Amino acid sequence: FDLGLLRIMLQHEINGAEDESEFDYDDGGPKGPSRWGELKEEWSACKTGEMQSPIDVSSRTVDVIPNSAGLTRNYKPSNATIVNRGHDISLKWVGDAGSVRINGTDYDLQQCHWHSPSEHTVYGRRKKNSSLSKCFQLIFVLVVCGTVVLDT
């Protein structure tokens, strides 16, 4: 599968996605990130929790571990399904897509998704996941048992 074709398909899907009705990414809007914790009772941790979505990634909230010493990737070729869910693009693998080892514990790859625009901010700025005129830029956030692991 050609990655360039995948990128074009994703750009088309991102541009063609319908707006999410329950929340949005307009920072100043009534359904924006600063209000997510008020929109639904089950989302209250977004307002009261520490390190709940949306997270501002900065030197205050993240420890940078050079060379990802505790992270080992063991990816395998696998078929997958891509779905535009309106607020994000989801990738779900079929079969064994490999695993990621974090500090000695293996985690099987099953599903990942990314938001456009990004759910989280970096030093207060919301990023676009891709652009036809720029290189692909993603921020990978993996949450395992309450621990946030970042990779760019």
Catalytic annotation, residues: 87
Report the C-alpha gap between 58 and 124 in whole angstroms. Answer: 8
Q: Determine which helix (DSSP H) or strand (DSSP E) holds 92, and give its type and residue range.
A: strand 88-93
Q: Cis bond leading into 54, ω under 30°?
A: yes
C-alpha angle 129/134/140, rounded to 5°? 30
Burial class (CB in 10 A: 0-12, 13-18, 19+), 118: buried
What end-to-end distance do the CA atoms of the chain give, in Å?
A: 23
C-alpha angle 130/13/92, rounded to 5°? 90
